[in-house]
A and B are shown apart, each in its own frame.
Chain A
Amino acid sequence: MTEYAKPLPDVADPNMAPYWEAAKRHELRMQRCGSCDYVRFPPARHCPECLEENDDWVALSGRGTVWSFGVYHHLFNRAFADDIPYNVALVQLEEGPRLVTNIVGVANEAIEMGMPVEVAFDDVTDEVTLVKFRPRG
Chain B
Amino acid sequence: MGVTELSKLRDQVAIVGVGTTRQGTISGKDGNEIAVDAFKLALDDAGLEKEDIDGLLTCRSFGDLGVDTQIAPLIGLNPLYSATLDYGTCNFSLHFAAMLIAGGFAHTVACMYGTNQRSNRNFFAGASAADYALAHGLFNIAGPASMALRRHMHEYGTTEEQMSAIALTERAHARLNPIAVMRDELTKDDYLNSRYIVEPLHLFDMCLITDGGACVILTSAERARDMKQPPVHIMGMAENTSLRNFQNDDQLMRPFIQTVRDQVYPAAGVGREDVDVLFIQDPTSVWVLQMLEWYGFCEVGEGGSFIQDGRIGLGGELPLNTNGGQLSESYMWGWLHIPEAVRQLRGQAGPRQVEGAEIAQYCSTMAFSKAASTIMRRD
Contacts and interface: CB of A to CB of B under 8 A. Distances in A.
A130 B100 CA distance: 48
A9 B244 CA distance: 21
A7 B125 CA distance: 12
A74 interface: yes
A77 B150 contact: no
Given A69-B147, A113-B150, A86 B137 contact: yes
A100 B142 contact: no
A22 to B, nearest CB: 14
Contact of A76 (B139, B154, B251): B139
Interface string B121-133: 0010110011111
Contact of A67 (B136, B142, B151): B151
Interface string A68-108: 11111110110010010110111000000110111000000
Contacts of A114: 154
B247 interface: yes
Interface residues of A, number: 37
Contacts of B247: 40, 48, 97
Interface stretch (B61-69, B74-82, B194-202, B311-319): B194-202
Interface string B242-256: 001011000110000
Interface in B104-148: 123, 125-126, 129-140, 142-144, 146-148
Contact of A100 (B132, B151, B195, B197): B132
A58 interface: no
A71 B136 CA distance: 12
Nearest to A72: B198
A14 interface: no
Interface string A26-62: 0000000000000011100000100000000000000
Contacts of A25: none
Given A73-B197, A77-B125, 17 more contacts: A9-B132, A16-B132, A40-B247, A68-B151, A68-B154, A70-B146, A70-B150, A71-B146, A71-B198, A72-B143, A73-B198, A76-B125, A85-B196, A98-B246, A100-B136, A101-B136, A130-B136
Ordered nearest first, which 3 A-B pairs have the shortest CB separation? A70-B146, A76-B139, A68-B147
27 contacts: A7-B134, A42-B130, A48-B244, A67-B151, A68-B148, A68-B150, A68-B151, A70-B144, A70-B199, A71-B146, A71-B199, A73-B197, A74-B142, A74-B196, A76-B123, A76-B139, A77-B125, A77-B137, A89-B147, A90-B252, A98-B251, A100-B129, A100-B138, A102-B137, A113-B154, A130-B135, A130-B136
Interface of B: 123, 125-126, 129-140, 142-144, 146-148, 150-151, 154, 195-201, 244, 246-247, 251-252
